[in-house]
Structure 1
Amino acid sequence: MATAEFKLYENIFIETSIQASDYDGVILILYPEESNVPKPRLIASYIHKITIVDKHVEKTPTVWNCDYVTGGRLVISPTGKITPYNDVGVVKEAARKGVERALDAGMKKPLLIVQNAVDFPDGQLVCILGALEALYQPLQMRERNISKHFFKIGLHAEENESESFEKVVRNAIALENSRILTRDIAGGDPERMSPENIVSYIRNAFSGNNFVTINVIDDDKVIQEEFPLLAAVSRAANQIDRHKPKIVELLYKPSDLTRVTETIMLVGKGVTYDTGGANIKTGDFMTGMSRDKSGAAAVAGFVKACSLLKPVHLKVVGVLCLCRNSIGEDSYVPDELIISKSGKSVRVTNTDAEGRFAMADALFKVSEIASKELNPHIYTIATLTGHAYRSYGNYTAAMDNHSARATNHASRIQFSGSRVGEGVEVSIIRPEDLTVNEGKIKGDDLVQIDMNTKTRHHQLAAGFLIKVANLEDKNVKYTHLDIAGAAGILPLTDPTAVPVLSLCHVHKVLL
C-alpha cells in the first residue's frame, strides 16, 4: 500500500513564527472584521491595506507578494460572511481552498496560520483538518508514483510553544490518517477495492497495532449459514474469486479493560459495486456505485482513529459487510423468499435494495452479542437510500431507535457534527416505518421494501433493519446513519470520510 500518513516533525511541523525558514509561502484564513479575530502582528497592517485596495480578497482565495512572511508569498483565503446559520464548516472550507490555491501557485512547503475563532471552540482542529484534506491524494494515484503535491506543511498558531496547540495538532493528524484510510477504501474503484483487496488493505493498515485484532469470515458455507441475506446479494458475484463476499470483524480494546465504560458496535455497508442486480440501474444511475462501500470504510476509519488515539473508556467492535451486487445467471431476483439469520422470512421485492440485506444478519449477530457488553451502542452506517439525499442533500441522516432516542443520541451526533464540520440531520423513526416492512402474504414475515410506498424511504429502511435484527423490543441503543448524500458523489466530489469525525467527537475519542 502506498502510504500517505502525516507524522508530526516528519512532514508536519509546528512553527512559532510566520517568518520561519524553509517554507515557500504562508496561508492566512481571513475572517470578517465583525468576527474580531486578530490578525498576526507582522502582517496586520499589510492585510488592512490589501482589503482597502481590492474587496475581492474577501470573496475568493488570492496570492500576494509579501516580504513580511517566509517565502515571500501570502495566500489569503476568506471565510466570507459568517452568519448565525453557519458552523465551523466555513473554516474548514477556507482552509481547504487556501491550501489548494497555494498548491496551484506552486507551493510545496506552505505554512498555515491557524487562528482561534472564539465562536468555534474546535476551530483550530477543523482548520488543520481542512488543510490536510486538500493534501489528500487518492490511493490509486499514489500507487502510480505520481509526484506528491507537497514536501511538508507548517502550522503556526502563536509566537510561543503551547502544549494545548500541540495536542490539537496531534488530534488532527490522527483523525486525518483515519480519514485517509476511509477515503482510500470508499474511493477505490470496484477492482482496486474488491472485497478481497479491501481485506488485504485492512490487514496492512492495522499491521503491528496491538490494540486491534482482525477476523475475516470468507468461507462460502459459513457465509451462507450465518449471513444468508448478504449471501443472496452476492450470489451472482461468487463465480469470481476476487468478488466473493467477506465479513471483516475489527475489535479495538484498550490495554486496561477495567476502565471501559462504553462498547461501540458498528456495522458498515460494504457493497463494492452495486449494479442494482436483477433490478438493474438504468440511465446514468450506475455511475458512482463504487462508493456504496463508504459505510464499511467509515467503520474501518473509526476503528483506525481509536487505534491511534487509544481512548481508554471505549471498546469498539466494527463489522465490514463486503460484497458485490452483480448481474448474472445466479442473481437473486424479486419474489424469492429468504430466511434471515434472525429466523424471519424476507420476500425479495427489489434487488437494488441490497444494502439492508448486506448488513441485516451482521446487525442481528451484533445485537445478540450486545447483551453481554458494557453499555453497548450499535450503529449501522450506509449509503443506503437515494431518499436520504433527496431529503437532506449532502448531510447525514441520523435515526435513533427507542432506546437511543431516550438519550437524544441523534441530537448529540448532530451537535458533534456541527463542532467538527460534518452536517447531520436528525430524522425520526415512527411506528409506520416499522409496520410498512411487514409481509403482505402468508409466509412472509418481512418484505425487503414495500414498492408501493413513495415516501419516508430512509426511515423505513431503518425500520427494516430494526425488525430483521429483532431490535424492535430490545432495550439496546441503536442508531442508523444514512450517509448516501454525505459520503461524496462520484464523479462530482471526492469521498468525504463522514461520519468519522462526528463519531470521534461524540464518543470522546480525542486526546
Structure 2
Amino acid sequence: MAEIKFKLYENIFIETNVQNPDYDGVILILYPEEKNVPKPRHIGSFLDKIAAIDKHVHKAVTLWNCDYVSGGRLIISPTGKIGPYNDARVLRDAAKKGMTRALEAGCRKPLLAVQNFVDFPEGELVSILGALEALYTPLQIRERDPTNNFIRLGIHAHEKADEKFEKVVRNAIALEKARILTRDIAGGDPERMAPGKIVEYVKDSFRDVSNVSINVMDDPKKIQKEYPLLAAVSRAANHIDRHRARVLTLEYKPSDLARVTDTLILVGKGVTYDTGGADVKISGRMAGISRDKSGAAAVAGFIKACSILKPPHLKVIGVLCLCRNSIGEDSYVADELLVSRSGKTVRVTNTDAEGRFAMADSVFKMSELADKELNPHIYTIATLTGHAKLCYGSHSAAMDNHSARSMNHATRLQLSGTLLGEGVEVSVVRSEDLAVNVGKCKGDDLIQVDMEAKGRNHQLAAGFLIKVGGLEDKNVRYTHLDIAGSAGMPPEEPTAVPILSLCHLHKVLL
C-alpha cells in the first residue's frame, strides 16, 4: 500500500522561528484586522505594509517575495470576514487554500504559521488539519507514483516550545492518518475498492496494530443465514468473487480493560457500487455512486484514530457492511418478502433503498451484543438518503433514538462538529417515522420504504433501522448519522466525516 507518511520529528516538525532556513516558503493564515490577532514577530510590519498597498490580501490567497521568512516566499491565506454565524471551517478552508497555493508555487518544504484565536477554541487543530488535507493524494495515484508531494512540513504557533501545542500536532497527525484511510476507501473506484479489496486494504492498514482485532465473514452461506437482508442486496454480485458481500468487524480494546467506561458500536454502510439494482438508477445518476461506501470507510477511520491515540476509557466495535448492489439475473426485486435476522418479515419496495438492508441485520446483532457491553452506544453511519442532502446541504443529519435523546446526545455531537469544522444538524425521529415502516400487506411486518411518503425520508429511514434493529423499546442509546450530503462527491475528495466530531465528543484526543 502506498502510504502518505506523517511522522512528528521525522518529516513534520514544530517550529518556533519563521526564518528557519530548512523551509522553502511560509503559509500564514490572515485574520480580519478587527480581530487583532497577533502576527509572527518577524513579519508583522511587512504584513501591515502590503495590506496598505493592496486590500485584496484580505480576500484571496496571495504570494509575496519576503526576505523575513524561510525561502523568501510568503503565502498569505485570508479567512475573510468572520461573523457571528461562522464556525471553525473558515480556518480549515484558509489553511487548505494556503497549502494548495504553496504546492502550486513549487514548495516542497512548507512552514504553516497558525495563531491561537479565542473565537475558535480548537482553531489550531482545525488549521493544521486543513493544511494536511491539502497534502492528500488519492490512493490510486499514490500506487502509480508513491512519492509524497512534500519533503518536510513545519508548523509554527509559538515563539517557544510548548507541550500543549505538541499535543495539538500529535492529535492532528493521528486524525489525518484516520482520514486518509477513510478517503482511500470512500474515494477508491468500484474495482479498486470492491468488497474483497476493502478487506485486503483494511487488513494491511492494521497489520502491525496490536490493539485492534479483525474478523471477516465472506462465506455466502453464512452471510445468507446471519445477514439475510444484506445477502439479498448482494445476490446479483455473488458470482464475482471480489464483489461478493463481506462483513468486516474491527474491535479496538485498550491495554487495561478495567479502565473502560464506554462501549461504542459503529455500523457503516459499505455499498461499493449502487446501480439501484432492478430499480435501476437513470439519467446518469450512477456517476459518483461509488462514494456509497463512505459510512463503512468512516467506521474504519474512527477505529484507526483510536488505535493511534489509544483512549483508555473506550472499547470500540466497528462493523463494515460491504456489498455491491448490481443488476443481473439474480437481482433482488420489489415485492419479495424477506425474513430479517430479527425474525421480522420485510417487503422489498425499492431495490435502490439497499443501504438500510445492508446494515439492518448488523444493527440487530449489535443491539443484542449491547446487552453484554458497558454503557453502549450504537451508531449507524451511511450515505443513506438524498433527502438528507436536500434538507441540510453539506451537513450530516444526526438522529437519536429515545434513549440517546434523553442524554441530549445529538446536540452535543453538533457542538463537537462546530468546534472541529464538521457541520452536523440535529434531526428528530418521531413516532410517525417508525409507524410509516409498518407492513401494508398480510404477513408483512415491515416494508423497506414507503414509496408513497412525501417527506421525512431521512427520518423514516432511521425509523426503519430502529424497528428492524430491535431498538424501538430497548433502552440502548442509538444514533443514525446520514452523511449523504456531507461525505463529499466528485470532483471533491471525500471529507471523511464524521470522524472529527466523534473523536472530539468521545474524548479520543490527547
| Range into which the TM-score falls when normalised by the shorter chain | over 0.9
Amino acid at match of 1:333: V
Q: Which amino acid aligns with 1:68?
A: Y
Say whether residues 1:262 and 2:262 are aligned partners. yes
Q: Counterpart of 1:378 in 2: which secondary structure?
A: strand
Instruction: Please give the alpha-carbon distance, in whole angstroms, between the structure 2 residues aligned to 1:337 and 1:145.
Output: 49
Distance 1:332 1:221 in 2: 16
Aligned counterparts of 2:244 and 2:127: Cα–Cα separation in 1: 41
Query: 1:159 deviation in Å?
Result: 1.3
SS in 1 for 2:306: helix
Q: Is the contact made by 2:2 and 2:146 (CA closer than 8 Å) also made in structure 1?
A: no
| More displaced stretch, 146-155 vs 381-390 | 146-155
| CA–CA separation in structure 2 for the residues paired with 1:211 and 1:146 | 28
- 2:204 alignment partner in structure 1: 204
Distance in 1 (alpha carbons) for counterparts of 2:79 and 2:105: 20
The yes-or-no answer on 1:42 pairing with 2:50 is no
Partner of 2:444: 444
C-alpha distance after superposition, 1:18-74 (max 9, x if no partner): 001221110000000121210111111110111111111111100000000010000
- The match for 1:494 is 493
SS at match of 2:76: strand
Contact preservation (8 Å) 2:265, 2:366:
yes
Cα displacement (A) at 1:5: 2.9
Instruction: Measure how far apart 1:383 and its partner are.
Output: 0.2
Shift of 1:12: 0.7
Query: What residue in structure 2 maps to residue 319 of structure 1?
Result: 319
The 3-state SS of whatever aligns with 1:45 is helix
2:166 counterpart letter in structure 1: E
Separation in structure 2 between the aligned mates of residue 360 and residue 237 of structure 1, nearest angstrom: 19
Say if 2:30 and 2:78, in contact at 8 Å, map to a contact too. Answer: yes
User: Per the alignment, in what secondary structure is the counterpart of residue 171 of structure 1?
Assistant: helix
Partner of 1:84: 84
What residue identity is the alignment partner of 2:498?
Answer: P
Give the Cα separation in 1 of the matches to 2:270 and 2:293. Answer: 4
May I ask how many residue pairs the two structures share in their alignment?
Answer: 510
Q: Which residue pairs with 1:271 in the alignment?
A: 271
3-state SS of paired residue (1:428): coil
The alpha-carbon deviation at position 149 of structure 1 amounts to 1.9
1:41 and 1:220 map into 2 onto residues whose CA distance is: 64
For 1:507, the equivalent position in structure 2 comes to 506
Q: Does 1:130 align with 2:159?
A: no
Q: In the alignment, which residue of structure 2 is the partner of 1:252?
A: 252
Aligned 1:297-308 pairs, distance under 5 A: 297-308=297-308
Query: Which stretch of the first structure deviates more once superposed, 5-14 or 141-150?
Result: 141-150
Q: How does 1:157-306 map to 2 (within 5 A)?
A: 157-306=157-306
* Matched AA of 1:16: T
Instruction: Give the CA deviation at 1:493.
Output: 1.4
Structure 1: distance between partners of 2:127 and 2:459:
34
TM-score (norm: length of structure 2) = 0.99
Deviation at 1:391, TM superposition (A): 0.5
Q: Which amino acid counterpart does residue 103 of structure 2 have in structure 1?
A: L
2-side partners of 1:11 and 1:187: how far apart? 26
Q: Per-residue deviation at 1:505? A: 0.3
Task: Provide the rounded CA distance (Å) in 2 between the counterparts of 1:499 and 1:425.
Answer: 12
Partners of 1:326 and 1:11 in 2: how far apart?
Answer: 44
Letter in 2 for 1:251: E
**Counterpart contact for 2:253–2:314, Cα < 8 Å:** yes
Unaligned runs of 5+ in 1: none
Which secondary structure state, in structure 1, belongs to the residue aligned with residue 140 of structure 2? helix
Q: Using the alignment, how far apart are the partners of 1:146 and 1:264 within structure 2? A: 35
CA contact 2:3–2:146 (8 Å) conserved in 1? no
Q: Does 400-409 or 158-167 show the bigger shift?
A: 158-167
| Partner amino acid, structure 1, of 2:463 | G
Secondary structure of 2:39 counterpart: coil
- Opposite residue 378 of structure 1, the aligned amino acid is I
Tell me the amino acid that sits aligned with residue 198 of structure 1.
Answer: I
Given that 2:4 and 2:148 are in contact with CA atoms closer than 8 Å, whether structure 1 keeps it comes out as: no
Query: 2:358 maps to what in 1?
Result: 358
Encode CA deviations 1:175-201: one digit per residue, 9 max, x unaligned: 000000000000000000000000000
Alpha-carbon distance in 2 for matches of 1:49, 1:34: 16
- Residue 220 of structure 1 and its aligned partner are, at CA, apart by 1.1
For 1:329, the equivalent position in structure 2 comes to 329
Counterpart residue number, 1:25: 25
Structure-2 separation of matches of 1:34 and 1:119: 13
Separation in 2 of the partners of 1:91 and 1:284? Answer: 35
User: Equivalents in 2 of 1:61, 1:461: separation in Å?
Assistant: 42
Matched, 1:419 2:419: yes
1:369-415: per-residue Cα shift (whole Å, max 9, x none)?
00110000000000000000000000000000000000010001100
For residues 35 and 87 of structure 2, the distance between their equivalents in structure 1, rounded to whole angstroms, comes to 13
Q: CA deviation at 1:472?
A: 0.1
**Is 1:339 aligned to residue 343 of structure 2?**
no
- CA deviation after TM superposition for structure 1 residue 148, in Å: 3.0
1:118 aligns with 2:82: no
* TM-fit CA distance, 1:167: 0.6
Over the aligned positions, Cα root-mean-square deviation in angstroms equals 0.6
